Structures are given as C-alpha cells and as structure tokens.
A and B are shown apart, each in its own frame.
Chain A
Amino acid sequence: MSRSGVGGNPLRDERDRRLPRIAGPCGLVLFGVTGDLATKKIMPAIYDLASRGLLPPGFSLVGFARRDWDDQDFSRIVHDAVREHARTEFREEVWAQLSDGLRFVSGEFSDDQAFARLRRTIEELDERRGTGGNHVFYLSIPPRYFGDVVGQLKANGLAEDSGSAWRRLVVEKPFGHDLASARELNEVLEGVFPAEAVFRIDHYLGKETVQNILTTRFANEMFEPIWNSRYVDHVQITMAEDGGIGGRAGYYDGIGAARDVIQNHLLQLLALVAMEEPTSFSAESLRVEKQKVLESVSLPRRLDLAAARGQYAAGWAGGEKVAGFLEEDGVRKTSTTESYAALRLDVDTRRWAGVPFYLRTGKRLGRRVTEVAVTFKRAPHLPFGPHATEELTHNALVIRVQPDEGMTLRFGSKVPGTALEIRDVTMDFAYGSSFAEASPEAYERLILDVLLGEPPLFPRQREVELSWQILDPLIAHWADRGRPEQYPSGGWGPAGADALLQRDGRAWRRP
C-alpha cells in the first residue's frame, strides 16, 4: 500500500483514518423476521449502520417468512422495530435510503415456488438497486430448518459465488447440542456454502469489552508478565442472569445452562483470556491461537467433584416473588435440565499449569453480570504483624463485560487511622456509563464485518467442535446422575457450586 492510493483508488490513503470502511454493494436476506432477535437486534443494527453511513447505497433487506405480507407490511415491521430499538436518532433521510430497498417474500421453507420468488426478488434488486449479486443469507430461525433453507438456496442457484459476486451465510447459536450434532449441522451448512462464507454469530465477541481483553493484554506492558501460573492463582468466569427462562421453555428445557452459555460464550471468553499472543490480529492468527488453547483445555477426571448444577427454586428475587424452574410454563415437572452450571477446567500449557479456570452461569441469580476475574496469588512473604493482613485477600483484576463495562483492580491498602491495618481496596476503570450508550452495539459490528467479509470475530467450526469435545463428557455424566440440586432464586447458585471451590480451598467472588 502506498500513500498515493490504496488498491489503486487515489482517494484512499492508509493514513486517512477518518474514512470508514463502507461495505461494497450488497443486500441481506433475513429468514425469520418476527423473532425477538430480528426485531430487537438485527433490524435496529441495520438502521444504525445506515445512520452511521456504513451501509452501501442501494443496500437492500429482504424478509422471508411464512406470513402473508406484502412489501408494505414488512416495511411497517422494520419501521416499528427501528423506531423502538435503534440506538441512533430516527431520521427521515436514513429511513428513506433503507425503505427503498425493503422487500418481502412470503412462503414456507420447503416451498420451491417461494424460493423461486426469492431468486427473482434478488435479481430484481441486483438490477434496480445495484446490489451486484452480493447477498448475505441470515438464518434467524431454529436450526431444524437450516437444512431446508440452505438446500433451497442451493437448488435455486443462490448459494454459489459467481464471478466477483459473493454469497455468505450467517447462523446464530446454538451450533448443535453436542459434538455429533454440531458436525451434522456443519455438514449441512458447509455442504452448500464454503467454510469461509459461513459466519457463526456469537454476539459476545462483538462487544467492545470482549475485544478489549486482547488490547488490554497485548497492547500493555504491565499485565502480560504476570499473566501466568507463577502469579495467577485461578480465574473465575461468570455469566449471571437475574431473569428466569421466561418464554424460552420450549428451547431451554433439554438444553440447559452448560450448552446454552458455557459451550459458546464462556469458553470463548476463556480462550481470549488464556491464549498466547497472536502473531497479528488477523482472523487466521486469532483462530490459530484460540484453537490451540481450546485444544489444551481439559476436564478434571473426577467429574462429580469438578462440576455442579442446579435448578432455581421458587422464592423471592430482587423483591419480586418468582416461580421455580420446574413450575415455569412449558417445563416438564420431571425435567433434569440445569438452569445453573459451574465447572472447573484446566489449561494444560506451561503458562497455565496448576491454575484452575472456574466457569459458572445461571438464571435467577443475584444480578445480571458477566465478568472475568483473574485472581492472583498472595505475596510469598508479608513483612507485617500477624494481625495486620487479616482483611487482605487476593489481588484481583476483574474485567467487567456487562453491564458497567470496565475493569477493576483489587489490592491491599493501609486503613487510615490505624497503626498498621491492611485491607482490600478497589481501583476502578469505567468506560463511563454513557460511553457505553454511544458505543456501537455488538450486532452492528458483527453485521458490518459480515458485509465486509472480515471474519476475526466469528468462531470457526473447529472451535465449535473443540468446545463440544470439552463439554460432552460432563453432559453425559450428568445425564445419569438424577436431578439437579435446587437453589434459591435471587442468590448466587447451589451449595454444590460453593463446595466445588471449597474443595480447592477457594471461594467464588460475589460479582
């Protein structure tokens, strides 16, 4: 690249960092337009991208669903979703740019004629809006329909790249429910689309704070030297939700916390915290390092001692009377699905030997929080009296992923006014409560990356398979161990989870 133009374009200059990357001409076909995800996340994110000037002129959005709608009906749905959930201000000119390119195709996923109509719609858009044959197919639908849809796309010639035009496929988790089903699903997807055209969305990876884990580690000098088993005692990765399963019983019962959250979000967080420095921040280098660390993760041999699970019991949470897991609508009374899961993992590398990673996630816990706490060892020698350091615990670096994105450092400090009394204090870095409001939503970043064809933030199939390989033995172990323990709603999980850490002489942090 030279100063006199990047890629032959004289208006581009690598020093010109104001110029955003606008995606080339393209359109997006959305399957499943009435779901929560579509209306609360995807449609608003598309509007916000347009509003930030990052969508190509002519960008088109095609909705595909069973509803008996025309383009106007779809346009109203998108309009309402944008009005209610978009982050940026609603402006008529932005809406005018978007609404010209809205189309709706009505039909079943198995209906040949509907897909023929979809093909004609796409061809019409290429011609009238200049989308250039570049299209993203976004499957915001249950995975059981993936086969039908990609099969239809293939049959209608919509799946292949032709000339310079590209086709990409976006899928959301779950990526299977165990290793075998993940492979099966992948055969369906990668049987039709090439591996590099399949984008798996784990929206956690689009969050600024998650991306910031790598910057914190690798852009600074002060963290990396102590980021190893010599100084780190253990790591706790928590994703807690205060809500119950709500209306998701149909999906959740039979899946459970481990599959729903640990397999993807928590193992990805673990990979980012534990990985070695990548040679660059390219998708390929990151993938290599994440893969390496996931390959070295192991479950302890005694699974009964290394994991805990539970179901929330009826009770009071945050001043509200709530039902227990087994009383939720749509949950089988005999369900053994866990709403809480915790486990210990080891990373068998020189850097992490002997440093356990404790992962936990659950519903109806004390508050909604996702964080990574790196807990350091105690100083090898404390030159103070025997009582001076009673209140001093372990130093900790806590990365808060959400909410209140930021970082906390806990360390000992002298209590003022005492002769010599040392107590833990916290030093806090907040992105600022309002910085978060101004910063782009994860979905904006991820959708833009799909349109630009930049995959660093998307897990590849190998990572998905490795995660299942880690979890499958535990899920099998639980399958014939009766019912999960009940835990009080609004607290911090079952007694078994506390015992899990106590056995190692440790305790969970209260997030």
Chain B
Amino acid sequence: MTELSDVTSAEIAAELVRARTRAGSPVMGMVLTLVVVTDEDGAEAAMDAARAASREHPARLLGVVLGDGRGRGHVDAHVRTGTGGSGEVALIRLRGEVVRHASSVVLPLLLPDAPVAVWWPADAPADPAADPLGALGQRRITDAAAATRRRTTVLRTQCGAYSPGDTDLAWTRLTRWRALLAASLDLHPGRVRSARVGAEAHSPSADLLAAWLELRLKITVERVTTSGPGITETSLTLADGEVRITRPGGGLATLSSPGRPDQSVALPRRELPDLLGEELRRLDEDEVYAALARRVGSRRRRT
C-alpha cells in the first residue's frame, strides 16, 4: 500500500506497475477497468463492494473522490494491489480545479483495450453519458435507490437521458423477481388481465417492475404502497386465478398460483457486490432496459 501526494496520472500508473512487480507477479489478468465515482463519506464502502465484485471480474479499480472544487488542483492517490487476485486498486482524491477535469486523471490509467465501466454508488449526473467520466465507459452504472438528492424524480430524469450502456442497480435488483414471474407464466400460459405491484413508497425498482410488466403485458399495472421493505408483493391476474408472489420480510417469499400448492422461495434482497457482479457480466447494451428506460423517461410526472 502506498500513499502518493500531489501527483500526476503517470506517477500513479508507475506505482501500479511497481506494486504489481513487488507482489511477485507482473502478470495482468484483469479484464476491465471499473471507475467508482464517489464522495469521501461513501468511498470506503463503495470500494469494498467494488473489490468484492472484482473477485468475479478481475478489474483495475479506480476510485475517484471528487472533493472541494475551489483552489489549486491537487491529486492524491492511495495505491495497492489487491489480495486474492482481485487486481489493482487506486483511490484517487481530487480537490481544487482538477475536480472539474477528473477525466484527464482517469484516462491515462485505463487498461489498454479492456472495457471500462463507471459506477456512481450514490448520486449520479443527470445525464451519465454526457458526464466526462461517464463518457469514458461503455457501461455506466447508476443507483436511483441510493440517490440522496431529487429522490422522487431521479429515475425518470436518468431514463429521460438514456444512452446505450446506461443501467441502474434498481433494474438489477429485479432480476430474481422477473425470473420468478417469467417462470410462473411458463406454467400458466394465457393472457394476463391485470397486475399489481406493492412496495414501499420510494422504490425505483418497483416503478421499473411495474413499467416492465406494462410494457410486456400491454396492461396497466396498479402500484400499491406498503410499508416495505422494498417490493413486498407482485400479482398477475389470469383467467383462472392469480399468480402472486408475496415477500413481507425481504427474505423468504411465497408463490401462490392457480391449481398449485403455495411454495416458499428464497428471494433475498441482494447485496451490492452481487448486483455489481451481475452488471459486469455483460458490457454491451441491455436492450430490454433500453426499451424500458425510453418508456419511463418519456412519462410525465404521476399525479
């Protein structure tokens, strides 16, 4: 672990190579660069999650802490090679005018040829693809549920600015729900007449789930507010009854469907490394999310 104070990208890059050689193996098995854009308070937790995710996808992790933009530009870096094969980590703290030119620091540190993903663990720019750091990535990962500002509109704003490669962890959190709903409809073919999604009041995931069902089933989905946590219920009404998944406690869910016994199924709320791991598995455009984002983004504010 090395602390570098008041340095340039070239010095950070040289230290990454030195650290790799010191660790005994100059081999680079990393498959992508993950840029984590965060503030000081969230930095540690975000880097921990990114490190855990890089166990599945060996990555060069570049944490970028955007500090106070006033005064002379100043770049500090904290460099280490990951243990357990998880690649290299540099946490780079910017303050002063260089904060507005963060991409000039990051660009020289990207791995050659390898894909780049940019992740904002909390607040993201309104238009991630137009952001100078965001523009470096083919994958831009936001998290509408973790936003601290403009919470109620952030998902819609982001969707409105959708560019290929954008994705939101609120969508990733739905994969298990969606898989279970799709598997249930495999067993119960037939038109879905109506649907309902129950979740806590602020739940971008629930908004996306409702929008997905509306898009796929061509019906209007009722959104019900419950006390949570997260999504607590989804039901699809068919000609011969109701397929219903209820998850009151955020862990074990019950699946009820016509003509079948109730079944319990584990539907845990997933942790950040797991979500990031899923995001990094595919780095091309998620076309299903694209269609959804266009729909959510063009919608006017609900009254």
**A positions within 8 Å CB-CB of B:** 5, 7-13, 15-20, 22, 24-25, 50-51, 53, 56-58, 91-94, 96-97, 100, 127-130, 406, 428-435, 437-439
Note all chain B residues with C-beta closer than 8 A to A439: 56
Interface residues of B in 158-176 (CB under 8 A from A): 172, 175-176
Note all chain A residues with C-beta closer than 8 A to B286: 18
B10 interface residue (CB < 8 Å to A): no
Shortest C-beta distance, A146 to chain B (Å), equals 33
A9 and B189 form a contact (CB under 8 A): yes
B216 and A91 form a contact (CB under 8 A): no
Shortest C-beta distance, A102 to chain B (Å), equals 13
Q: Which of B172, B182, B252, B265 contacts A12 (CB 8 A)?
A: B182
Interface residues of B in 278-303 (CB under 8 A from A): 278, 282, 286-288
A15 and B288 form a contact (CB under 8 A): yes
Top 9 nearest A-B pairs (CB, nearest first) are A57-B263, A433-B85, A57-B265, A93-B251, A438-B56, A432-B58, A93-B252, A11-B182, A94-B266
B84 and A433 form a contact (CB under 8 A): yes
B178 and A435 form a contact (CB under 8 A): no
B82's nearest neighbour on chain A, judged by CB, is A434
B85 and A434 form a contact (CB under 8 A): yes
Q: Which of B85, B189, B264 contacts A57 (CB 8 A)?
A: B264
B288 and A20 form a contact (CB under 8 A): no
Interface centre among B55, B56, B178, B263 (most CB of A within 10 A): B263
CA distance A508 to B286 in the complex (A): 48
Q: Which of A10, A22, A429 contacts B29 (CB 8 A)?
A: A429
Q: Which of A18, A22, A406 contacts B180 (CB 8 A)?
A: A22
Q: Which of B85, B182, B265 contacts A9 (CB 8 A)?
A: B182
Note all chain A residues with C-beta closer than 8 A to B185: 9-12
A11 and B29 form a contact (CB under 8 A): no
Interface centre among B86, B185, B192, B286 (most CB of A within 10 A): B185
Note all chain A residues with C-beta closer than 8 A to B172: 18
A10 and B216 form a contact (CB under 8 A): yes
B192 and A10 form a contact (CB under 8 A): yes
Known: A18-B178, A97-B266, A100-B264. 11 other contacts (CB 8 A): A5-B216, A15-B287, A15-B288, A18-B175, A25-B187, A50-B266, A57-B263, A129-B261, A430-B29, A432-B86, A437-B55
Secondary structure dominating the interface of B: mixed
Note all chain B residues with C-beta closer than 8 A to A8: 189
18 contacts across the A-B interface (CB closer than 8 A): A9-B185, A9-B189, A10-B217, A10-B218, A11-B178, A11-B217, A16-B288, A18-B172, A18-B178, A18-B288, A22-B179, A58-B260, A93-B267, A94-B268, A432-B87, A434-B84, A438-B56, A439-B56
- Contact A432 to B29, CB < 8 A, known contacts A10-B217, A18-B286, A97-B266: yes
B115 interface residue (CB < 8 Å to A): no
Shortest C-beta distance, A137 to chain B (Å), equals 22
CA distance A22 to B251 in the complex (A): 19
B265 and A97 form a contact (CB under 8 A): yes
Shortest C-beta distance, A220 to chain B (Å), equals 15
A92 and B251 form a contact (CB under 8 A): yes
CA distance A256 to B216 in the complex (A): 58
Note all chain B residues with C-beta closer than 8 A to A7: 186
Q: Which of A9, A16, A57 contacts B186 (CB 8 A)?
A: A9
Note all chain A residues with C-beta closer than 8 A to B181: 11
Note all chain A residues with C-beta closer than 8 A to B186: 7, 9, 12, 24
B255 interface residue (CB < 8 Å to A): yes
Shortest C-beta distance, A301 to chain B (Å), equals 45
- Contact A57 to B255, CB < 8 A, known contacts A7-B186, A94-B268: yes
A91 and B29 form a contact (CB under 8 A): no
B96 interface residue (CB < 8 Å to A): no
B183 and A93 form a contact (CB under 8 A): no
Interface centre among A8, A13, A93, A129 (most CB of B within 10 A): A93
A19 and B182 form a contact (CB under 8 A): yes
CA distance A24 to B183 in the complex (A): 7
Note all chain B residues with C-beta closer than 8 A to A20: 175, 179
A406's nearest neighbour on chain B, judged by CB, is B29
Note all chain A residues with C-beta closer than 8 A to B182: 9, 11-12, 19
A93 and B55 form a contact (CB under 8 A): no
Shortest C-beta distance, B190 to chain A (Å), equals 9
B287 and A97 form a contact (CB under 8 A): no
